[in-house]
Amino acid sequence: MKILVLGSKGQLGTALSKLFLKENIKFKGVDLPEFNIIDNNVLTSTLEKIKPDIIINACAFTDVYRAETEFDLAMKINGISLKSLVYLCNKKDIFLCHISTDYVFDGYKIKPYLEEDKTNPINCYGLTKDVGEKIIQNYCQHFALVRTAALYGDSKNMTENIVDKIITSARRNKSIIMVEDECTSPTYTNDLAYQIYLIIKNDLQGIIHSTSEDECNWVEFGKYIFQLLKLNVEIENVKSRNFSKSIKKPFYSVLENARLKSLKINIMPHWKQAVKKYLVDKEYI
C-alpha cells in the first residue's frame, strides 16, 4: 500500500508524514510550490508518477479571513479542484481520504453535530469546503471524508499555530484578548493523524467526525494553557462579533465523533489532555 499526502508541509500533513515515517508506512508527501492542486497537469502527472493506492488530501486554503477577500482562489483549491482529484481517484481506483471542517455548519445547533447533520456554511471558507464535500459525496466512489476542528501542531511551513500564538502573545503582554462565545474542540494534529491512520486501516468510508473530546470556548482554552504554563496573564473576554469584525463564525461548532465511537475506534483524547501533550512535546512544560 502506498499513501500520497497532499499538503504535506501543513500542520496535518506534517503530523501524517512523521507518523508514517515512524510506522514504516510507504508514503510520499507533496505540497506547494512543486505541487499545486489547482494545476490539472501537475495533479495528473503526480498521480501517474507516484501511483498511490490511497490519497490523503490535507491541502487546503485554510486562512478563514483571506477566504473572504480571495474567494475565487479559495474556491478553486477547496472546492473546484476536487472534481479533477475525484475523477482521477475513480479512474485509478484510489481511496480518497479528504479532510474537511466544522465550519461547514452554521453553529446554531446547541448539541454536538453528527455526521448526518445538514451543512449550512456562514462564511466563505466554510462555503468552499462545503462545495468540496459535495463533490466528493456525489461523485467519489471510494472515500472517507474526515471533519475536524481548530487544529494545532507543528508544520514544516514553520508558521505559528493557534497555541503558539496564544503563548507568544501572553508572554509579550500583560493581558490578552480572547473570544468567549465560540465553542469548539481544539484538536492536536498528532492525535488526528493517528486517528486517520486507523480510519484507513479499518477501511472506514463516508463522513467521519474526528476532533478532541468535549468542548470549550477560547477563554477556557487560553486559561487552561496559562494554568499549565503557570503564566500570570489577564484574559480580556470579547464577543466574536467584536473580534472577527469582518467575518461571521459559527458560535457552536462542536462535532460528535459518533461513527468512530460506534465502531469502537475513537482514540481522540479530551481537549485538555491533548493540549497538555502538545505543550510537553514542544517542551513548553
Ligand X SMILES: NC(=O)c1ccc[n+]([C@@H]2O[C@H](COP(=O)([O-])OP(=O)(O)OC[C@H]3O[C@@H](n4cnc5c(N)ncnc54)[C@H](OP(=O)(O)O)[C@@H]3O)[C@@H](O)[C@H]2O)c1
Contact 231, 173 (CB under 8 A): no
Q: Does position 61 bind ligand X by CB under 6 A?
A: yes
Name the residue nearer to ligand X (CB basis): 61 or 95.
61
SS3 223: helix
**Dist CA 185 CA 39 (whole Å):** 34
Contacts of 182 (CB under 8 A, 6+ apart): 217, 218, 240, 249, 250, 251, 252, 253
- In the complex, the smallest distance separating the C-beta of residue 146 from ligand X, rounded to whole angstroms, is 8
Name the residue nearer to ligand X (CB basis): 31 or 182.
31
> Binding segment for ligand X among 28-36, 173-181, 222-230, 234-242 (CB under 6 A)?
28-36
Contacts of 198 (CB under 8 A, 6+ apart): 265, 267
Angle at 59 between CA 62 and CA 82, to 5 degrees: 105
Name the residue nearer to ligand X (CB basis): 44 or 173.
44
Subset of residues 87 to 146 that bind ligand X, contact rule: CB under 6 A:
99, 101-102, 129
Q: What are phi and psi of 58, to 5 degrees?
A: -105, 10
Name the residue nearer to ligand X (CB basis): 12 or 96.
12
**Dist CA 185 CA 199 (whole Å):** 20
Subset of residues 135 to 164 that bind ligand X, contact rule: CB under 6 A:
148-151, 155, 157
Plot region of 94 (φ>0 → left; ψ -120 to 50 → alpha; else → beta):
beta
Using CB atoms within 10 A of its CB, is residue 223 exposed (0-12), middle (13-18) or buried (19+)?
A: middle
Q: What are phi and psi of 232, to 5 degrees?
A: -95, 90
Binding mask 253-272 for ligand X (x = CB under 6 A): --------------------
Name the residue nearer to ligand X (CB basis): 61 or 226.
61
Name the residue nearer to ligand X (CB basis): 37 or 124.
37
Q: Whose CB is nearest to ligand X?
A: 10
- In the complex, the smallest distance separating the C-beta of residue 129 from ligand X, rounded to whole angstroms, is 6
> Binding segment for ligand X among 9-17, 171-179, 193-201, 261-269 (CB under 6 A)?
9-17
Q: Does position 38 bind ligand X by CB under 6 A?
A: yes
Residues of this chain that interact with ligand X (CB under 6 A) are 7, 9-13, 31-32, 35-38, 58-62, 77, 99, 101-102, 129, 148-151, 155, 157
